[in-house]
Amino acid sequence: MDQHTVVITGAGSGLGASLAKKCSELGSYVILLGRTKEKLIKTAESLHSGYSIYELDVSSKSDVTNVFQSIQNEVGSIDLLINNAGLGVFDLAENIEEKYINQMIDINLKGTIFCTQEVLEDMKSRKQGMIVNIVSTAGKEGKVNESVYCASKFGVRGFTESLVEELKNTGVQVYAAYMGGMKTEFWDGIFTEEQTKKLMHPDDVADIIMDNIKPRKHIAVTEVTIKNR
């Protein structure tokens, strides 16, 4: 992997923490973003290379702008952005409260857009860089009790596919990861331990995602789908 400075949103747990560890093992400088500083510190304890921590709520456009400006000033250009922050609240469509509808659209969709906007100008001017959007298979198929979550993720899919077209011939690559449920705290209070037992481990998913980031001659991976058996 030729990326040197990596920014990961939602890096405090689950897949975000696994991706941070993998990037660190590859020698990258890892910038951990998330809403809970304590969780980010815990992730940082497992890293093998340099890192920075910034508290950030990706649903706030002004906060995103301020944090990414700080990163540019304090660390420099971003080579790889991984939009991983996400939230899911599951119930029948008619039961989902307005606050949860807003949170899913704001974090999953708008947060991805806001963070991406902050790196595009610099990446395009340098004619290099990569944006990885962690989407979920909920961005490919509708699911019972996941109507709004799917709506937010279908939005990320549309944004990602449009970016691929916009960034052709710029040297900037975009890549979407669509994965099924993973064994993480995302499912706390939703699935029982028995139900999560057979789900994918985030470390395995992180391995697959990172393997597809490796530069390969004449090959551009724009998406990968990872499903539970």
> Considering the chain, what percentage of its residues have pLDDT values greater than 70?
91
Tell which wins on pLDDT, 94 or 228.
94
Q: Is the pLDDT of residue 3 over 90?
A: no
pLDDT bin (cut points 50, 70, 90) of residue 183 is low
* Beta strand segments in 112-197, E: 129-134, 172-179
Mean pLDDT of the chain: 91
Which among 1-10, 78-87, 209-218 has the top mean pLDDT? 78-87
Q: What is the pLDDT of residue 189?
A: 55
Mean pLDDT of 156-170: 96
pLDDT at residue number 227: 82
Q: Could you read off the pLDDT of 52-84 as tens digits, one per residue?
A: 999 999 999 999 999 999 999 999 999 999 999
Catalytic machinery residues? 149
CATH superfamily of 5-226: NAD(P)-binding Rossmann-like Domain (3.40.50.720)
Residue 35: per-residue pLDDT: 95
**CB–CB of 30/210 below 8 Å?**
no
What pLDDT, on the 0 to 100 scale, is given for residue 1? 46
Phi, psi of 45 (to 5 degrees): -65, -20
Contact (CB, 8 A) for 162 and 109: no
What's residue 196's pLDDT? 60
Q: Which amino acid is at 190?
A: I
Quick one: pLDDT at residue 194? 59
Mean pLDDT of 124-147: 95
In this structure, is the dihedral angle defined by the CA atoms of residues 212, 37, 146 and 148, taken in order, positive or negative? negative
Banded model confidence at residue 144, pLDDT cuts 50, 70, 90:
very high
Instruction: Enter the tokens of residue 16.
Output: 């975000």
Instruction: Label residue 193 by pLDDT band (50, 70, 90).
Output: low
What pairing do the DSSP bridges indicate for beta strands 129-134 and 80-83? parallel
What average pLDDT does this structure show over 171-192? Answer: 73
- In whole angstroms, give the CA distance from residue 54 to residue 208: 26
What's the pLDDT band for 186 if we cut at 50, 70, 90?
low
Burial class of residue 84, CB neighbours in 10 A (0-12, 13-18, 19+): buried
pLDDT at 32: 98
End-to-end CA distance of the chain: 29
